[in-house]
Amino acid sequence: MPLETLHTRLLDNLTTAILLVAADMRVSYLNTAAESLLELSSARVLGENVQNVFHEDENTVAGLRRALETGTGFTKRQTVFHLGTGHDITVDYAVTPAWLENESLIIEIQPLDRMMRFSRDEAILSSQHMTQSMVRGLAHEIKNPLGGLRGAAQLLARELDSEQLLDYTNVIIEEADRLGNLVDRMLSAPRRLQREAVNIHEVLERVRHLVEAESHGALKIRRDYDPSIPELSGDREQLIQAVLNVVRNAQQVLAEQPTGAPPPIIELRTRTVRQFTIGNQRHRLACQIDVSDNGPGVPPE
């Protein structure tokens, strides 16, 4: 394998985004992680002024030029980059002057949004496990007196002659049974995933048809699908339920909009993301589903 090809493959397997910027401030190289981070293909970015691709403020290019002139690199932490696509990302980045055929800058970018989300997800999972343990312990405590309550109601019913009073004991028995079923569900182990090859767009279309039918035409759902996404391995029914929950949340918020608000719109969007971490596992290729709406959004607080 040619050395240049090997170097390219090595760079493309890094999770750190790498860009090479020439002395004229134009991007001359970016790896796969950079394409994913910047949400742009190399064909679109190569030859572009770096400030058209991302910048933190009007002094970004000036700082890069100083690094070229002085031959001194620098590092910035927790910086918000404004992407050419209109999105903002929080990153740490390091700039290193280098001589590669000509004067250049190597920019290494480490996204913090994903790391912060990973830490948040870890905290949520830990909290969920703790909550599940508490709920199961509480369910056991509820189940024991519940059986006694039901038995006492049955004994009382045998001693009563009044139909009206029997109705009351029947209500107690029925509600005790309902609570017992609820406790059993809380104590039961979650259903194991039934993995199969799933077309994610068929899942989204199923959700779209369900929600549009429920709204009787009052809600418009737009689609922005990436047709190149291959089938993925997953539990079809649980995927449908998960997406349906998110879309219904958006639907409920839009239904509370005041009179005169724009017609409610939900958009379903799919994209592929590379070198993405889910839980503790890094995946070379993953599917990203975005559910957005034209509602008021989540308050900053």
Question: pLDDT, tens digit, for every residue of 145-189?
Answer: 888 888 888 998 888 888 878 888 888 888 888 888 878 777 776
The two beta strands, 17-22 and 27-30, are antiparallel
Q: Is the pLDDT of residue 65 over 70?
A: yes
My answer on whether 120 and 107 are in the same domain is: no
What token pair was written down for 43? Answer: 């064909």
Residue 289 sits at φ, ψ, to 5 deg, of: -115, 125
Domain count, the chain: 3
- 262/242 Cα distance (integer angstroms): 27
Q: Is the pLDDT of residue 202 over 90?
A: yes
- Confidence (pLDDT) at 30: 93
Confidence of residue 115 (pLDDT cuts 50, 70, 90): low
My answer on whether 7 and 107 are in the same domain is: yes
Average pLDDT, the chain: 85
Q: Is the pLDDT of residue 27 over 90?
A: yes
Cβ burial 140-162 (10 Å sphere, 16+ → b, else e)? eeeeeebeebbeebeeebeeeee
- Confidence (pLDDT) at 112: 84
- As a whole number, mean pLDDT of residues 280-298 equals 86
Q: For residue 13, what is the domain's CATH number?
A: 3.30.450.20
Residue ranges of E strands in 84-202:
88-100, 102-111, 195-198
- Confidence (pLDDT) at 172: 86
- Confidence (pLDDT) at 198: 96
Computed on alpha carbons and rounded to an integer, the radius of gyration of the chain in Å comes to: 28
Q: Is 128 domain-assigned?
A: yes
- 63/37 Cα distance (integer angstroms): 21
- 168/153 Cα distance (integer angstroms): 9
Residue ranges of E strands in 164-205:
195-198
- As a whole number, mean pLDDT of residues 115-121 equals 70
- 166/96 Cα distance (integer angstroms): 84
Q: Look at residues 111, 134, 162 and tell me which one is the last residue of a structural domain.
A: 111
Confidence of residue 224 (pLDDT cuts 50, 70, 90): very high
- 111/275 Cα distance (integer angstroms): 12
Confidence of residue 257 (pLDDT cuts 50, 70, 90): confident
Q: Within 10 Å of residue 212's Cβ, how many Cβ atoms?
A: 16
Confidence of residue 1 (pLDDT cuts 50, 70, 90): low
- Confidence (pLDDT) at 2: 63
My answer on whether 104 and 121 are in the same domain is: no
Q: Is the pLDDT of residue 4 over 70?
A: no
My answer on whether 183 and 205 are in the same domain is: no
Q: For residue 204, what is the domain's CATH number?
A: 3.30.565.10
Q: Look at residues 111, 128, 151 and tell me which one is the last residue of a structural domain.
A: 111
Q: Is 298 domain-assigned?
A: no
**Looking at 67-71, 143-147, 192-196, 292-296, which range is the least confident one?**
143-147
**Bridge-partner residues for 267, per DSSP?**
222, 292
- Confidence (pLDDT) at 207: 93
- Confidence (pLDDT) at 125: 76
My answer on whether 134 and 173 are in the same domain is: yes
Give the structural domain span for 269. Answer: 195-293
My answer on whether 95 and 133 are in the same domain is: no
Q: Is 300 domain-assigned?
A: no
- Confidence (pLDDT) at 300: 57
Q: Look at residues 187, 211, 235 and tell me which one is the last residue of a structural domain.
A: 187
Helix-helix angle 163-187:112-159, to 10 degrees: 150
Residue ranges of E strands in the chain:
17-22, 27-30, 54-55, 74-83, 88-100, 102-111, 195-198, 220-224, 232-235, 265-278, 281-293
Burial of 58 (0-12, 13-18, 19+ CB in 10 A): exposed
The residues, any chain, with a CB within 8 Å of residue 56's CB and separated by 6 or more, are: 76, 79, 80, 81, 82
- Confidence (pLDDT) at 3: 58
82 CA to centre of own chain: 20
Would the pTM count as exceeding 0.85?
no
**Looking at 50-59, 113-122, 171-180, 242-251, which range is the least confident one?**
113-122
